[in-house]
Structure 1
Amino acid sequence: MNLIERYIMTGIRRLVVTIIGFLIFIFASYSAQRYLTEAANGTLALAVVLDVVFYKVLIALEMLLPVGLYVSVGVTLGQMYTDSEITAISASGASPLRLYSAVMFLAVPLSILVTLLSMYGRPWAYAQIYQLEQQSQSELDIRHLQAKKFAINNNGRMILAQQIFPASHHLNDALIYTSSGNKTNVFKARIVDIVDASPTTPAVMLHSGTAYVLAHQGSDDNEQIYRNLRLNLKPFDQNPDVKRKAKSISTLSHSRDPADIAERQWRESRGVCAFLMALLAISLSRVKPRQGRFSTLLPLTLLFIVIFYGGNICRTLVANGALPVIPGVWLIPLLMLAGVFILVIRDFALLEKIRR
């Protein structure tokens, strides 16, 4: 490795560590605030908040690592253009490929890491989050119920109790609200015994209360007074998109569902996109002397927005069957590759002008 490549890599690497560390801190703080709020509201067990934040950060690395390298390349090379260092390198007869080779020394290992995270780390983290939420968001888990406060899960089921007795697993003066199909059920009970607290088969025994069935259409409402009533509640069910994100790559590979194909292509293309983003940042970093290295941030930001939302739109279109699976989600990486070729040709053309 020559001096030029080492010099460029040192500047980029130092900034990459700073930016990625900052992004991880910001994202972790935001996630912690969000899930601590859910824990305070009784919809998530406090004990699992740190675990969920860790898994969320692991998932976010798929995006944070490419963004960190992308911005670092643009800003570092932008500073070198501002200080006329790139001009001096070109005047010495060095090929523009020296810039690309320096960036690729960093981009290749980072892209491999992003690919591994996307293919294996991300689905594993989603599976862990799903399991933790399934265990903690059952409102029958008396450990995180709070007296005189509604506990809500993702199924829209709510429970409110005036008194909670964890040792005996029962509630006093409780109200349970459920909604399914075309009716809403409201159960009011003097005492509620938790028969089964598992999130898969939750069940309670209601004593001395009233059950109300409210029809969403028509007038088929009724009221029932009971002494003892066993109530089997609907288990916690995660969002289908989250379940798909937790599927292994082998499962997705054997699926013919367009949504599964879109998810597989998304994972497979993340490392390639990270690599191409770093190469695109080389040309976008070009600024005039003394213009300021941060002047590159606007074009870098605009291109990132196009890549990010373009990828999400393609994934949605493939999942809905509106876009053929070939090229499918790979449409954006192919366009990025074409852009890299065009910009490399432009760099060589500019080099010829400088030499003349």
Structure 2
Amino acid sequence: MFLIERYIVSQTHRLVLTLVGFLIFIFASYCAQRYLTEAANGTLALEVVVDVVFYKVLIALEMLLPVGLYVSVGVALGQMYNDSEITAIYAAGSSPARIYRAVLMLAIPLAILVALLSMYGRPWAYGQIYKLEQQSQSELDVNHLMPRKFNTNDDGRMVLSNQINTDSSVLTDALIYTSSDTRTSLYRARTVHVVNPSPTHPSVQLQAGTAYTLDHQGSNDNEQIYKDLNLHLKPLLQGLNVKRKAEKAAVLARSPDPADTAELQWRESRGLTAMLMALLAIPLSRTKPRQGRFATLLPLTIVFTLIFYGGNVCRTLVANGALPATPGVWLVPILMLIAVLLLMARDFSLLRKFSR
């Protein structure tokens, strides 16, 4: 009874596994190269690179899985059109509904998985990444510092030291640079003892050095020569966008901020978008005999580009208040649903013409 559906599913799911595996490998390699560079520059601890890459891949799955299914459906059905198998299926009296049903057998479970990843896995992974980055990017943790290199963090703080003793948490011949909107401070010290390396309450004790302060708003610049100086530095804080991506859906739902609404709608729409992408690939896979199985890649690429950038533009417009929350980010899935219904109607009308 489901012979056709099983055949289409078998042709498609192998491509999905191969393509998604390849995309994961490429994405993980890119992330590893990026974070290994940061580790080499002293801005990220080497031991957290593997964990960060794992969380990044988990976040990316909400995009990689739909793309893998979307392209696999287009290529697999394109091959069947090229081999005239679809024509034989229609000639045998089968309906296009069987092709759509076969794709839905793969698309529905994948859409549920993508929805769960987007609603729960993605914010959890972002939260873990920010914790790791915040802990490892504290340039006051001597285990993460590199001698004779500029060790920086996202707040513009920099530490340079000629020698680092990890056992005693002491820096020798050190330079500490901090900057804010109102002033810039520069501290030179013969020795620096790290009292508290915590990103939230960083503090150091400087001995035998000079402090320089430059006032951005006036002429209150000064120079201070000291023997001992206790210095409490500005904590490393998360930005609003960082907190939003890691926030729970229930918190976003209660927030009146349009940016939180855009983030919530983006998460909620990922599952439906994944399923609609797979259904759109069915009519886009139609090719002429002997045209080649990869002839569908161009229209598939164009449509995916429109979906991807359309979704990002809508999310940005909702976050900025330029697009109302209704339909908001759901505008793209609504347009995709309309396109799917119109293309399905065309497929069924073509069947009626073929049967006459």
> TM class, shorter-chain normalised?
over 0.9
| Letter of the 1:310 counterpart | G
CA distance in 1 between counterparts of 2:57 and 2:208 reads 47
Q: CA deviation at 1:268?
A: 0.3
Q: CA deviation at 1:56?
A: 0.3
3-state secondary structure, aligned to 1:11: helix
CA distance in 2 between counterparts of 1:175 and 1:13 reads 57
Q: What is the CA deviation profile of residues 192-233 of structure 1, one whole-angstrom value per residue up to 9, with x for unaligned ones?
A: 010111111000011111111123354332211111111111
Question: Which residue does the alignment assign to 1:322?
Answer: 322
Question: Which residue does the alignment assign to 1:261?
Answer: 261
CA distance in 2 between counterparts of 1:309 and 1:234 reads 38
3-state secondary structure, aligned to 1:229: strand
CA distance in 1 between counterparts of 2:203 and 2:53 reads 30
User: Larger deviation: 237-246 or 50-59?
Assistant: 237-246
**1:307 is aligned to 2:307:** yes
3-state secondary structure, aligned to 1:294: coil
CA distance in 2 between counterparts of 1:323 and 1:143 reads 47
3-state secondary structure, aligned to 1:103: helix
Q: CA deviation at 1:146?
A: 0.8
User: Larger deviation: 255-264 or 236-245?
Assistant: 236-245
Question: Which residue does the alignment assign to 2:83?
Answer: 83
CA distance in 1 between counterparts of 2:234 and 2:293 reads 57
CA distance in 2 between counterparts of 1:55 and 1:133 reads 12
| Letter of the 1:287 counterpart | T
3-state secondary structure, aligned to 1:175: strand
Q: What is the CA deviation profile of residues 85-132 of structure 1, one whole-angstrom value per residue up to 9, with x for unaligned ones?
A: 001101111111111000000000000000000000000000000110
| Letter of the 1:101 counterpart | R
3-state secondary structure, aligned to 1:75: helix
CA distance in 2 between counterparts of 1:167 and 1:87 reads 74
User: Larger deviation: 197-206 or 218-227?
Assistant: 218-227
Question: Which residue does the alignment assign to 1:23?
Answer: 23
CA distance in 2 between counterparts of 1:145 and 1:68 reads 40
Question: Which residue does the alignment assign to 1:51?
Answer: 51
CA distance in 2 between counterparts of 1:164 and 1:6 reads 64
| Letter of the 1:9 counterpart | V
Instruction: Determine what percentage of the aligned residue pairs are the same residue.
Output: 69
CA distance in 2 between counterparts of 1:237 and 1:311 reads 29
TM-score by length of 1: 0.99
**1:344 is aligned to 2:344:** yes
Give the paired residue count. 356
Question: Which residue does the alignment assign to 2:192?
Answer: 192
Q: CA deviation at 1:238?
A: 2.5
Q: What is the CA deviation profile of residues 151-208 of structure 1, one whole-angstrom value per residue up to 9, with x for unaligned ones?
A: 1001010000001011111101100000012211111111101011111100001111
User: Larger deviation: 218-227 or 270-279?
Assistant: 218-227
| Letter of the 1:143 counterpart | N
The gaps in structure 1 that reach 5 residues or longer are none
Question: Which residue does the alignment assign to 2:228?
Answer: 228
Question: Which residue does the alignment assign to 1:156?
Answer: 156
| Letter of the 2:83 counterpart | D
| Letter of the 2:168 counterpart | S
Question: Which residue does the alignment assign to 2:144?
Answer: 144
CA distance in 2 between counterparts of 1:93 and 1:236 reads 67
CA distance in 1 between counterparts of 2:204 and 2:228 reads 10
CA distance in 1 between counterparts of 2:45 and 2:187 reads 24
Q: How does 1:97-136 map to 2 (within 5 A)?
A: 97-136=97-136
3-state secondary structure, aligned to 1:302: helix
The gaps in structure 2 that reach 5 residues or longer are none
Question: Which residue does the alignment assign to 1:241?
Answer: 241
3-state secondary structure, aligned to 1:210: strand
User: Larger deviation: 204-213 or 237-246?
Assistant: 237-246
3-state secondary structure, aligned to 1:304: helix
Q: CA deviation at 1:255?
A: 1.2
CA distance in 2 between counterparts of 1:294 and 1:51 reads 36
3-state secondary structure, aligned to 1:323: coil
| Letter of the 1:122 counterpart | R
**1:33 is aligned to 2:33:** yes
Give the conservation status (yes or no) of the 8 Å contact 1:154–1:237: no
CA distance in 1 between counterparts of 2:132 and 2:3 reads 50
CA distance in 2 between counterparts of 1:233 and 1:219 reads 23
Give the conservation status (yes or no) of the 8 Å contact 1:28–1:53: yes
Question: Which residue does the alignment assign to 1:173?
Answer: 173
